[in-house]
Amino acid sequence: MTTGQSDFPFTASPLLRLIVIFVALLFPICPVSVFAQSEAPRTAGIEGEIMRVTPAPADNSNRNLIGTVLIEDESKRGTAYDKASVSVTTGTRLFREDGGGRRTATFDDLRVGIQVRATFAGPALMSYPVRVAAGEIVIAEGGARSANDGATDLPPAARRALDANFLEWRVAEVSDEVKQFLANRSEAVPSQIITGDFDGNGREDYAVNLRHSSAVNRRQTIAVLLRDQRGRAFIVRKLETIPCNPNQEGTGLYLTGRRRGDTVYDYEARRRVRLGNDTIEVNNFEKSSWVYVYRAGRFRKVFTGD
């Protein structure tokens, strides 16, 4: 009988000892990467439609991050990913196809509804959708925002806010009839984008008349973009959606602004009202006019003319 002290600090059967030795020998040869994020091959990527665009917050600690885009591929191409949340960084190359060639693009060109091809770079977090940095993003032909959409007077943050709320939009153009009428009166053509502090928080907001060009349902939307208290982001409020004449390119609706302290006539109340904030006024050529009065967190439509 052996009376020496056992090498194990407890009494164990020979079978259990063999199992412990086998496990001890097995784990050192297991690659550490089994427990890490998987490396995305440089050829990996996704081709599809942008479903969401999220700019990086201004106080983001990662100064290299510009924003993220959610891309979804519904074409059943058989690729590895059908949906991906792709980070756009200062190292991401952005292009747009143009007449068979490629031109440099910017993050502002990435908007909801356009087709893109993204090539992955770096480690991918295996969640659903997969989260990964983009090495390159190419916007399909015709996908980048055109300078003719009338949105050049809007800051990039405002355009991104509209992209997040509308699949397709452009700033509505005033009809030739309205332009001629105002020209005869020596009045300037009104803008479809106006500014003012419409909610009284001390920040400059935007109001815009948008045109949606769907062949099935042409319409226009009066929307207001309220700047948050920090002045960094916009909250979009859809004030009203109005059908358009499909045979008319321009619109008889145009925007003007009223300032805090101005008075307007409320046709329903049959009295004059003093405005507590800057106010959006809509003119429907040769028909009517109204304002959207902000009070207690809501906009109320008040007819001011017929």
**Alpha-carbon distance 234 to 205, whole Å?**
8
Average pLDDT value for residue range 164-172: 82
Q: What top-level class would CATH report for the domain 38-145?
A: mainly beta
- Main-chain dihedrals φ then ψ at residue 142, nearest 5 degrees: 80, 0
Please say whether the beta carbons of 280 and 194 come within 8 A.
yes
Q: Which residue has the higher pLDDT, 206 or 124?
A: 206
Residue 120's contacts (CB-CB under 8 Å, 6 or more residues apart) are 40, 41, 42, 44, 45, 46, 84, 86, 132, 133, 134, 135
Amino acid (1-letter code) at residue 206: Y
* Rounded distance between C-alpha atoms, residue 44 and residue 120, angstroms: 6
Listed in order, the ranges of the chain carrying CATH 2.40.50 are 38-145
Nearest Cα to Cα of residue 262 among 249, 243, 275? 275
Distance between CA atoms of residues 274 and 138, nearest Å: 52
Residue written as token pair 């009070």 = 295
Q: What is the pLDDT of residue 41?
A: 46
- Sign, Cα dihedral of 277, 196, 235, 242: positive
Which pLDDT belongs to residue 191? 76
Output the pLDDT for position 16: 58
- The whole-number average pLDDT for the span 183-211 is 87
Q: Check if the beta carbon of residue 254 is closer than 8 Å to that of residue 192.
A: yes
Q: Which of 32-36, 185-189, 221-225, 301-305 has the lowest mean pLDDT?
A: 32-36
Mean pLDDT of the chain: 80
Average pLDDT of span 251-262: 90
What pLDDT is stored for residue 183 in this prediction? 81
Within the chain, strands assigned E span 38-39, 45-55, 65-72, 83-89, 93-98, 101-104, 115-125, 130-139, 170-171, 193-196, 205-212, 219-227, 234-243, 253-258, 263-266, 271-274, 279-284, 288-295, 298-305
Q: How many residues does the chain have?
A: 306
Phi then psi dihedrals of residue 43, to 5 deg: -90, -10
Q: Which residue has the higher pLDDT, 250 or 12?
A: 250
DSSP 108: G
In this prediction, residue 123 carries a pLDDT of: 80
pLDDT higher than 50, residue 145:
yes
Q: What pLDDT band is residue 78 in, cutting at 50, 70 and 90?
A: low
The alpha carbons of the chain give a radius of gyration, in whole angstroms, of 29
Higher pLDDT, 264 or 152: 264
The fraction of the chain above a pLDDT of 70, given in percent, is 77
**Per-residue confidence (pLDDT) for residue 126, from 0 to 100:** 77
Q: Is the peptide bond before 129 cis (omega within 30 degrees of 0)?
A: yes
